[in-house]
Structure 1
Amino acid sequence: MQATKNGICWRLFLFSCLFLESSCQDFGGQTQFICTSVPKDMDICAATLQNSVPGEDLKTTVMQLRETVLQQKETIMNQKETIRELTSKLARCESQSGAEPGDARPGGRRKDAGTKNTMGDVSRGPADTLTQLSQTLQSLKQRLENLEQFSRSNNSVQANSLKDLLQSKIDDLEKQVLSRVNSIEEGKPGLRNETEQRGRVESTLTSLHQRITDLEKGQRENRPLDKFQLTFPLRTNYMYAKVKKSLPEMYALTVCMWLKSNASPGVGTPFSYAVPGQANELVLIEWGNNPMEILINDKVAKLPFLINDGKWHHICVTWTTRDGVWEAFQDGVKRGSGENLAPYHPIKPQGLLILGQEQDTLGGGFDATQAFVGDLANFHIWDRKLSVGEIYNLATCSSKAQVGNVFAWMETSLDIYGGASKWTFEACRQLN
């Protein structure tokens, strides 16, 4: 009986050792067998149970060890994921800091509704800042040229004095821009002060803009409300003029205006009229390498105009809903005609008329690549088809000028946005 009991105890002892060994191997640890001396007259089974880890404690210890290992594995996985995420962000930052400004999007005349360029939604890098400063300087130069023309025609000593002062300011700004370009190209340490330098340049530009605005204000006070031109010096998605009232429903129309531009490719969009549900209700556009087009209810007719030579041109387009007949006149001469342009579709009311931008949605969705660049004046709309003689008289100032009965060119009829400017304009003086 004692031998049997001893055998059972030995088996229990060996089973405990094997269990401990397998548990240790689960955690990659080294295992050892520990021998303990037992008094000769002591019960081997009792000694074994006394020196070994109790079953419940053993299970608790094993579970705690496994839980610790799992927690460590989870921590390691989280750290690896964090490292991968940080590495990815670092790579993106490095690629963006070394990237060149993107090219303008190629494509056709239209794009998906709602697609819109934005300004100021990302931080500008040095290259973007220099581009914006260069464009601003070009805009200021154009406005100074207009001031110079105005001062010559009016013999204004004050205008000449301010013009010289502003020209000097612009020359200083150009030197600063050139210095920054050289610093970027040569990698000079001066780039560390870029933020402070940018602040000084932009502060000077703000002061310069204010001086020009004051001079423009004085000029506006001395001219009739219809003797003005709108100037769009840059191809942007934020310079435009909005007509304050909508067009009525029309079954015929004539649109006439004076334009001057040397933009290439394409002068852009002199005007666009959008209504709810139709962004291309009435649009005049020359985009990319396409000829100038007139759109009515999204239907297109190509116009034989050639105007991007930097000279003033008078253009008119007539249209009637019956058979969609249209005619195009440049400088008083009929250059083309056609039919089937949105036949029997009246121009809808309750829309929005924008000068200088093409609308992809009602009152928005402007695309800088479709913007008008140049000067626009004497924009008029009639709800009838003008005769050939009437159009010739408008283009040559042969008689008293007619004004549009739907929209007449007046400063009080427009709201100007984004830096587009107004200047004195005399159509007949341009012809002399």
Structure 2
Amino acid sequence: METTKRGFCWKLFLLYYLFVEGSAQDFAQTQFICTSVPKDMDICAATLQNGVPGENLKTTVMQLRETVLQQKETIMNQKETIRELTSKLTRCEGQSAPETGDARPGGRRKDPGTKNTMGDVSRGPADSLTQLSQTLQSLKQRLENLEQFSRNNNSVQANSLKDLLQTKIDDLEKQVLSRVNSIEDGKPGLRNETEQRGRVESTLTSMHQRITDLEKDQKENRPLDKFQLTFPLRTNYMYAKVKKSLPEMYALTVCMWLKSNASPGVGTPFSYAVPGQANELVLIEWGNNPMEILINDKVAKLPFLINDGKWHHICVTWTTRDGVWEAFQDGVMRGSGENLAPYHPIKPQGVLILGQEQDTLGGGFDATQAFVGDLANFHIWDRKLSVGEIYNLATCSSKAQVGNVFSWLESSLDIYGGASKWTFEPCRQLN
């Protein structure tokens, strides 16, 4: 009996140390004294009489009970996790089943595009192989997690489920190898599909070439000046660029056909920038301002009213001597002035852009200043045209001339950003 009591005392204090003190090192440095206790005497009272704190011992017992309850709750959670994993394994097993037919008696092979039990659309062997590989990787990851779970919790159920997972993984690896072999055996069919795709692509290429040839014939049969540029949106990327620069000019005439109903302002029909001066020659109407002509960043306001959605012919003439300018709309002079950049020649080696205003040489476009509408028959001369010559241009007279500095030809422009090109007869609205 004495030995039994001493053993109980030893176990009690050992449990006290393990759950309260919590350190093997402290255990090595702690001394325990055990004394015999009469059979019918209260143990806690006896320990109190012998100098052992009974209240602490009661607290230890309560903590041990709490620990036991927590362990039971943990075990229940682990069992729930195991049931969930088992359910997922069952679904994975159903997903990785061969798709040769329905599992029920008399079942038919699934048609392409039919959803399987996992909600995915059944596809070809390569897709099935991908699904199997993904399932395999997922199960391997779960196995690693379960091994860690087993090491931490020493759970018999976890080890059992780990063995089950390993078996499933082995089966899936065999299925993957089987699918690979099936794909290798089916290579002749894939080769036939590749050949068929090649024939289709060849046919499409041939049709595209025929369409290109037809468009080329249409372009060759159409006069190169019978076209218009359309800028449907106010953007900073739609524009046309003239392929050559302007020469140095001491006088000029600029004429064109315009149609727009944009508001506020039609934007910038053209801009010419040179190194060191972005506003060397610009025609612009933006915001609520009237249309303006800029030469060397000097401004003259023009009396044009064109944003009514109809075609209008406009011309601006200028000479460097005294900076004299004149403005014509539909063959009629609407305004004139002087002191516009007097004695400043238009400089060469610049960039001429249609549809955008340049803040830098060839760039720096601002969408708010972009031209919206149609533009055609843009011409530039290095002299001042007479009133009669401008009238002939506006009325499509047979005596009308083309620009000697820039002439409106498709081959003279590069078009960017989606601006479109259409056939255009400049005087069709006059008929």
1:191 and 1:216, CA in 2 relative to 1: closer, same or farther beyond 3 A?
same
User: Shift of residue 309 of structure 1?
Assistant: 0.6
User: Shift of residue 385 of structure 1?
Assistant: 0.3
Residues 389-398 or 268-277, more deviating:
389-398
The whole-number CA distance in structure 2 between the counterparts of 1:431 and 1:165 is 89
1:37 and 1:141, CA in 2 relative to 1: closer, same or farther beyond 3 A?
closer
Corresponding residue for residue 170 of structure 1: 169
User: Shift of residue 422 of structure 1?
Assistant: 1.0
CA contact (8 A) 1:6 1:44 kept: no
TM-score by length of 2: 0.52
Residues 213-222 or 5-14, more deviating:
5-14
CA contact (8 A) 1:220 1:424 kept: no
The whole-number CA distance in structure 1 between the counterparts of 2:114 and 2:46 is 84
Q: Provide Cα deviations, 1:178-204, integer angstroms capped at 9, x if missing partner.
A: 999999999999999999999999999
The whole-number CA distance in structure 2 between the counterparts of 1:155 and 1:229 is 83
SS in 1 for 2:34: coil
- Tell me the C-alpha RMSD between the 2 structures: 25.1
Residues 18-27 or 239-248, more deviating:
18-27
1:423 and 1:348, CA in 2 relative to 1: closer, same or farther beyond 3 A?
same
Residues 373-382 or 77-86, more deviating:
77-86
TM-score by length of 1: 0.52
The whole-number CA distance in structure 2 between the counterparts of 1:73 and 1:152 is 18
The whole-number CA distance in structure 1 between the counterparts of 2:63 and 2:389 is 98
User: Shift of residue 388 of structure 1?
Assistant: 0.4
Larger Rg: 2
User: Shift of residue 56 of structure 1?
Assistant: 40
Alignment of 1:28-427 (within 5 A): 219-427=218-426
Residues 215-224 or 344-353, more deviating:
215-224
Q: Provide Cα deviations, 1:203-252, integer angstroms capped at 9, x if missing partner.
A: 99999999999986664343111111111111111010000100000000
1:37 and 1:110, CA in 2 relative to 1: closer, same or farther beyond 3 A?
closer
1:45 and 1:61, CA in 2 relative to 1: closer, same or farther beyond 3 A?
closer
Segments of structure 2 that go 5 or more residues without pairing to the other structure are: none
SS in 1 for 2:22: helix
The whole-number CA distance in structure 2 between the counterparts of 1:293 and 1:187 is 72
Residues 114-123 or 309-318, more deviating:
114-123
The whole-number CA distance in structure 2 between the counterparts of 1:145 and 1:316 is 82
The whole-number CA distance in structure 1 between the counterparts of 2:259 and 2:103 is 24
Q: Provide Cα deviations, 1:24-74, integer angstroms capped at 9, x if missing partner.
A: 9999x9999999999999999999999999999999999999999999999
1:206 and 1:253, CA in 2 relative to 1: closer, same or farther beyond 3 A?
farther
CA contact (8 A) 1:166 1:208 kept: no
1:81 and 1:403, CA in 2 relative to 1: closer, same or farther beyond 3 A?
farther
Segments of structure 1 that go 5 or more residues without pairing to the other structure are: none
Residues 4-13 or 247-256, more deviating:
4-13
SS in 1 for 2:176: helix
CA contact (8 A) 1:113 1:360 kept: no
SS in 2 for 1:329: strand
1:401 and 1:363, CA in 2 relative to 1: closer, same or farther beyond 3 A?
same
1:9 and 1:76, CA in 2 relative to 1: closer, same or farther beyond 3 A?
closer
User: Shift of residue 127 of structure 1?
Assistant: 38
Q: Which runs of 4+ in 1 moved over 2 A?
A: 1-27, 29-222, 398-401
CA contact (8 A) 1:114 1:361 kept: no
Residues 17-26 or 87-96, more deviating:
87-96
User: Shift of residue 146 of structure 1?
Assistant: 67
Residues 79-88 or 349-358, more deviating:
79-88
CA contact (8 A) 1:114 1:365 kept: no
1:147 and 1:212, CA in 2 relative to 1: closer, same or farther beyond 3 A?
farther
1:233 and 1:252, CA in 2 relative to 1: closer, same or farther beyond 3 A?
same
Identity of aligned residues (%): 92
User: Shift of residue 429 of structure 1?
Assistant: 2.3
Structure with higher RCO (Cα < 8 A, 6+ apart): 1
User: Shift of residue 286 of structure 1?
Assistant: 0.4
1:268 and 1:198, CA in 2 relative to 1: closer, same or farther beyond 3 A?
farther
User: Shift of residue 387 of structure 1?
Assistant: 0.3
1:320 and 1:35, CA in 2 relative to 1: closer, same or farther beyond 3 A?
farther
CA contact (8 A) 1:305 1:330 kept: yes
1:78 and 1:339, CA in 2 relative to 1: closer, same or farther beyond 3 A?
farther
User: Shift of residue 20 of structure 1?
Assistant: 26
Residues 94-103 or 343-352, more deviating:
94-103
CA contact (8 A) 2:260 2:310 kept: yes
